[in-house]
């Protein structure tokens, strides 16, 4: 770089897809839906290939690798894009921009070469079928997959390395929705000759080599297919390639349209659209292409769906415990990373290292726990050999990384306490980056050495690993070849990875203690030591459980004990670390508190003591008729729902999962109506419809709980009908007491979590002067219209939770009824079809009424008139629907009618 060229920008503005405000929300919902399909499709494909032994061949291992690349590439681009749609300024920091560019290039190039490798695989399968298993052996296809990733990382490192040398001192607006080469180079004010040369060289290599490989492969494939005499044989051979051809055409076509068009402003805008296609749409389409057009995948999916699943009481308890721990781990660690990212007061070396530790903990837990959870609900806890080796590799990488990260954090505390004046120089940003890179490098080096020599071991004894994940020693016990090198490696690396961090930590704390003892004031000593308390506790927990696992004598009993201790350091410790650093750390608490209150204007501590509800109508002559109408509706609602609950409770004929769900739905409807209607009735007969601030927040909280719970309860009832109709013989097993009680509990838990989040952030909102709520009860949107402070977080929560609470139940209901309709159509007799459909008709009617009125309320355009229309539709789903549900399920349900008749007949006989 030119001497003295030190200019750069700290942040970039991403122009995004469109600058029109009215398009931001539709774009957000559209791309959110695409991302959900992408994640579900690609992770589903990976899981399906992992679980189905029928798909354990090179073609599907390449496909699972392609799905992983698509998932990662989509995640790199879309998440930031979604944030940009709902934020006022679409900012991205310089380091984040370079990181996004790096991973985008890595996965983009990896996809090019994966498609080429898949073409070569098809060439071998069709042109040399007898030699397929030899030519595409485990060593060959694993080498090809690793080569693909290696080349992606190599190219990305070169491009990003030279990009960081560029000086950006022009306007900092990137005319794109993510950090890509060409838009970034347009902002450069230093020479970009080397970068353009690299783009030309690597672009030519990364396009020409895969395309030539694909074209050459298909020339030989077509020649081989042409030599097949039978039409059926040619069709079968070509069908194995059709999905790949379609994926290649879509990916390279959109790529060519992006980069090979003439350079102009107009082409840049066109390029955005085409890059949307290959960065966002293509990753969604690939799993669809390979599932809908692939017979093997369809068969494997059908087998997985039809496989019997048994969950016994003890395993259900273990499943619930591990699932709960994993949820806390992910939320805690990701929350810690987000908190450090958004809180400027935590932008110090100590917290950058802590965020890196949280990332390691999240990844380590993810490597182990999801597979463990799958094992709880499958008949056989099978893990394919490649997946086992991959699990061991990443577990080893993150476990070793954690050891050294704790040592680096100890050194950071030593510098902060022993040399506070030189802290910012000694622990500069560059030093922190190099230390973190060294930690990950050490983890990858150790994992690579162990894994490479483990692959050489011949396992020919019993293939049962006496553990819940693939660890080194349980695997070596199955070997029938020499494991001397593996044991030497284990001893050498373990000694280094334990002793080096331990010595670093001990030495650091010796100097820290000496420095603390030289502080004269007790307050100063306490303050200095308090910055180390969390780290000491984390070190003790991690190294203590690790030592107990690996340093105990080798025996069957100690291995059993070791499972428990390894559960502690692989699953529990990653959960504990964010708790330790949040509960025992003052800075984190202060940062969380400031994030919690940061949207409030300075000095804005005003709030209202009460609100005025405008109600349904301001006309005095309508108050009494409306009072009588809604009083009648409320009486019918209470009698109907309590009657339904009582009927199901006392009638043994209705003691089935379907009616337990219905009783729960009746309870939700009763509570839902009771939260709204009594206050509404009071308001009809009072002059001013006052509601206190506390009463308003309470009403909002419980309204949200039961409204959200109703959405998910209807979804659970749809799943119940799917099991009853599609798998009637397994109904009592699949919908056992443990299952349906867990489903009901989860429904309420989701309601409570969402309501707590909404109400918690609503309490932060300031209401000054404006105290008239244009509604007949306290709902989210009418309250936010009165806000005096920033409501950005509240709107984001409404968007996220709203999407989740509508999309998930809707998709569950639609999917269930697709399978139900397919099963009903396979029933030959008209009576059988009518009987099967009749068990669903009440549920369909309830779903249509509830979701229809809710959609009419929340999906209409924002205006004063629509707000008044919304009152009417919300009357329907908050007051009328709770009345209708027991009527729908009693009048249209034969079982309920029969049970009611029996109860009434019994009472009449008793009276007589």
Cβ-proximal residues to 37 (8 Å cutoff; 6+ apart), any chain: 284
CA-to-CA distance for 314 and 330, rounded, in angstroms?
24
- CA distances to 32, 398, 662 from 82, rounded to whole Å, are 7, 29, 38
Q: Would residue 647 count as lying in a domain?
A: yes
CA-to-CA distance for 573 and 567, rounded, in angstroms?
9
DSSP readout, 317-362? HHHHHHHHHHHHHHHHHHHHHHHHHH-GGG-SHHHHHHHHHHHHHH
Backbone angles phi, psi at 497, to 5 degrees: -75, -15
Q: What would the two tokens of residue 844 be?
A: 């369909």
Backbone angles phi, psi at 173, to 5 degrees: -100, 115
User: Angle at which helices 282-292 and 295-306 pack, to 10 degrees?
Assistant: 80
Tens digits of per-residue pLDDT, 567-597?
665 776 677 767 776 665 666 667 666 655 5
Q: Would residue 219 count as lying in a domain?
A: yes
CATH number of the domain to which 44 belongs: 1.20.1070.10
Q: Would residue 129 count as lying in a domain?
A: yes
What pLDDT, on a 0 to 100 scale, did the predictor assign at position 713?
92
Are 694 and 790 in contact by the 8 Å Cβ rule? The answer is no
Strands (E), 738-850: 772-773
Q: Would residue 740 count as lying in a domain?
A: yes
Are 691 and 614 in contact by the 8 Å Cβ rule? The answer is no
Q: Would residue 234 count as lying in a domain?
A: yes
| Residue carrying the six token digits 């009418």 | 782
Query: Can you tell me whether residue 170 is helix, strand or coil?
Result: coil
Are 654 and 647 in contact by the 8 Å Cβ rule? The answer is yes
Are 39 and 73 in contact by the 8 Å Cβ rule? The answer is no
Cα atoms in the Cβ-side hemisphere of radius 13 Å centred on 450: 30
What pLDDT, on a 0 to 100 scale, did the predictor assign at position 599?
44
Q: Would residue 881 count as lying in a domain?
A: yes
Tens digits of per-residue pLDDT, 227-266?
888 878 887 877 777 777 877 777 777 666 655 555 544 4
Are 681 and 627 in contact by the 8 Å Cβ rule? The answer is yes
Cβ-proximal residues to 331 (8 Å cutoff; 6+ apart), any chain: none
CA-to-CA distance for 695 and 472, rounded, in angstroms?
59
What pLDDT, on a 0 to 100 scale, did the predictor assign at position 158?
92
Q: What would the two tokens of residue 213 be?
A: 């490989």
Burial 651-660 (b: 16+ CB within 10 A, else e): beebebbbbb
What pLDDT, on a 0 to 100 scale, did the predictor assign at position 603?
39
CA-to-CA distance for 483 and 476, rounded, in angstroms?
7
Q: Would residue 481 count as lying in a domain?
A: no
DSSP readout, 777-807? S--HHHHHTT-SS--HHHHHHHHHHHHHHHH
Are 808 and 715 in contact by the 8 Å Cβ rule? The answer is yes
| Residue carrying the six token digits 């769900």 | 661
Give helix then strand counts, H and E, for the chain. 33, 6
Structural domain range at position 26: 1-307
Q: Within the chain, which residues score under 50 in pLDDT?
A: 1-6, 264-267, 307-314, 554-559, 598-605, 862-865
Are 494 and 550 in contact by the 8 Å Cβ rule? The answer is yes
Burial 341-374 (b: 16+ CB within 10 A, else e): eebeebebbbbbbbbbbbbbbbbbbbbbbebbee
CA-to-CA distance for 399 and 407, rounded, in angstroms?
13
CA-to-CA distance for 41 and 37, rounded, in angstroms?
6
Choose one of 307, 336, 365: the last residue of a domain. Answer: 307
Q: Would residue 260 count as lying in a domain?
A: yes
Cα atoms in the Cβ-side hemisphere of radius 13 Å centred on 340: 22
Neighbours of 436 (CB within 10 A): 20
Q: What would the two tokens of residue 500 be?
A: 């080096």
Are 401 and 360 in contact by the 8 Å Cβ rule? The answer is yes
**Structural domains counted in the chain:** 2
Nearest partner of 357 among 164, 561, 588, 96, judged by Cα: 588
What pLDDT, on a 0 to 100 scale, did the predictor assign at position 227?
85
Helix (H) or strand (E) holding 215: helix 193-226
Choose one of 264, 280, 307: the last residue of a domain. Answer: 307
CA-to-CA distance for 104 and 69, rounded, in angstroms?
10
CA-to-CA distance for 435 and 429, rounded, in angstroms?
10
Strands (E), 252-299: none
Choose one of 239, 273, 307: the last residue of a domain. Answer: 307
Q: Is the pTM of this model over 0.85?
A: no
Nearest partner of 639 among 373, 404, 890, judged by Cα: 890
What pLDDT, on a 0 to 100 scale, did the predictor assign at position 705?
92
CA-to-CA distance for 890 and 892, rounded, in angstroms?
6
CA-to-CA distance for 43 and 838, rounded, in angstroms?
36
Cα atoms in the Cβ-side hemisphere of radius 13 Å centred on 251: 28
């Amino acid at each position: 770089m030119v001497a003295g060229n030190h200019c750069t920008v700290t942040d970039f503005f991403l122009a995004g897809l469109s600058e029109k405000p009215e398009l931001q929300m539709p774009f957000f919902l559209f791309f959110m839906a695409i991302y959900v399909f992408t994640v579900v499709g690609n992770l589903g494909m990976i899981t399906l290939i992992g679980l189905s032994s029928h798909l354990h061949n090179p073609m599907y291992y390449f496909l699972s690798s392609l799905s992983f690349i698509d998932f990662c590439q989509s995640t790199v681009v879309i998440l930031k894009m979604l944030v940009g749609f709902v934020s006022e300024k679409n900012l991205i920091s310089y380091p984040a921009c370079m990181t996004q560019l790096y991973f985008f290039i890595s996965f983009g190039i990896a996809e090019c070469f994966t498609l080429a490798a898949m073409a070569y695989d098809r060439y071998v399968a069709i042109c040399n079928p007898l030699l397929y298993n030899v030519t595409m052996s485990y060593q060959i296809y694993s080498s090809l997959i690793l080569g693909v990733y290696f080349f992606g990382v190599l190219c990305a490192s070169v491009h990003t390395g030279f990009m960081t040398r560029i000086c950006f001192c022009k306007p900092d607006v990137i005319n794109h929705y993510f950090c890509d080469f060409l838009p970034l180079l347009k902002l450069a004010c230093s020479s970009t000759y080397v970068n353009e040369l690299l783009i030309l060289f690597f672009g030519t290599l990364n396009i020409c080599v895969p395309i030539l490989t694909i074209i050459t492969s298909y020339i030989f494939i077509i020649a081989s297919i042409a030599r097949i005499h039978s039409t059926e044989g040619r069709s079968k051979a070509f069908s194995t390639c059709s999905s790949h051809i379609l994926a290649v055409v879509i990916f390279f076509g959109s790529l060519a349209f992006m980069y090979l068009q003439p350079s102009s402003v107009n082409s840049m805008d066109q390029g955005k659209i085409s890059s949307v296609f290959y960065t966002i749409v293509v990753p969604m389409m690939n799993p669809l292409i390979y599932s809908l057009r692939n017979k093997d995948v369809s068969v494997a999916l059908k087998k997985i769906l039809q496989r019997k699943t048994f969950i016994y009481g003890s395993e259900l308890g273990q499943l619930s415990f591990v699932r709960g721990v994993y949820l806390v781990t992910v939320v805690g660690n990701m929350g810690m990373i987000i908190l450090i990212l958004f809180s400027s007061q935590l932008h110090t070396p100590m917290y950058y290292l802590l965020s890196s530790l949280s990332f390691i903990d999240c990844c380590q837990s993810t490597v182990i726990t999801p597979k463990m959870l799958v094992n709880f609900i499958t008949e056989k806890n099978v893990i394919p050999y490649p997946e086992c080796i991959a699990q061991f590799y990443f577990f080893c990488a993150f476990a070793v990384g954690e050891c050294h990260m704790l040592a680096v954090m100890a050194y950071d505390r030593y510098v902060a306490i022993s040399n506070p004046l030189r802290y910012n120089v000694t622990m500069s940003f560059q030093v922190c980056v190099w230390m973190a890179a060294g930690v990950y490098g050490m983890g990858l080096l150790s994992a690579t050495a162990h894994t490479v020599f483990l692959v050489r071991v011949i396992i020919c004894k019993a293939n049962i690993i006496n553990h819940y994940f693939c660890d080194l020693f349980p695997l070596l016990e199955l070997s029938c070849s020499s494991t001397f090198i593996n044991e030497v490696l284990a001893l050498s690396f373990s000694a280094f990875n334990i002793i080096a961090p331990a010595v670093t930590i001990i030495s650091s704390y010796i100097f820290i203690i000496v420095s603390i003892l030289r502080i004269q004031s007790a307050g100063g000593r306490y303050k200095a030591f308090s910055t180390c308390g969390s780290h000491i506790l984390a070190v003790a927990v991690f190294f203590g459980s690790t030592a107990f696992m690996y340093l105990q004598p080798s025996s069957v009993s100690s291995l059993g004990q070791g499972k428990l201790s390894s559960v502690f350091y692989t699953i529990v410790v990653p959960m504990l670390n964010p708790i330790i650093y949040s509960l025992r750390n003052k800075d984190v608490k202060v940062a969380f508190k400031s994030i919690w209150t940061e949207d409030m204007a300075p000095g804005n501590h005003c709030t209202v003591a009460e609100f005025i509800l405008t109600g349904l109508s301001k006309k005095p002559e309508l108050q009494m008729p409306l009072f009588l109408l809604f009083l009648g509706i409320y009486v019918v609602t209470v009698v109907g729902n309590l009657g339904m609950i009582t009927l199901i409770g006392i009638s043994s004929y209705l003691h089935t999962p379907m009616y337990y769900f219905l009783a729960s739905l009746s309870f939700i409807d009763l509570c839902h109506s009771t939260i709204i209607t009594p206050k509404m009735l009071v308001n009809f007969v009072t002059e001013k419809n006052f509601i206190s601030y506390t009463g308003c927040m309470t009403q909002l909280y419980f309204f949200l709980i039961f409204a959200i719970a109703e959405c998910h309860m209807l979804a659970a009832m749809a799943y119940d009908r799917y099991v009853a109709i599609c798998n009637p013989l397994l109904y009592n097993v699949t919908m056992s007491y443990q299952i349906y009680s867990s489903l009901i509990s989860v429904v309420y838990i989701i309601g409570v979590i969402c309501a707590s989040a909404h109400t918690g952030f609503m309490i932060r909102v300031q209401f000054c002067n404006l105290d008239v709520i244009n509604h007949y009860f306290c709902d989210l949107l009418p309250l936010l219209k009165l806000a005096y402070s920033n409501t950005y977080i509240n709107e984001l929560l409404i968007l996220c939770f709203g999407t989740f609470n509508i999309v998930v139940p809707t998709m569950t209901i639609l999917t269930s009824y697709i399978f139900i309709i397919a099963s009903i159509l396979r029933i030959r007799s008209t009576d059988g079809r009518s009987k099967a459909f009749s068990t669903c008709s009440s549920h369909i009617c309830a779903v249509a009424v509830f979701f229809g009125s809710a959609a009419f309320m929340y999906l209409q355009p924002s205006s004063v008139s629509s707000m008044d229309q919304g009152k009417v539709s919300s009357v329907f789903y908050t007051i009328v629907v709770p009345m209708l549900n027991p009527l729908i399920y009693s009048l249209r349900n034969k079982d309920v009618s029969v049970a009611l008749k029996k109860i009434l007949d019994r009472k009449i006989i008793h009276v007589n």
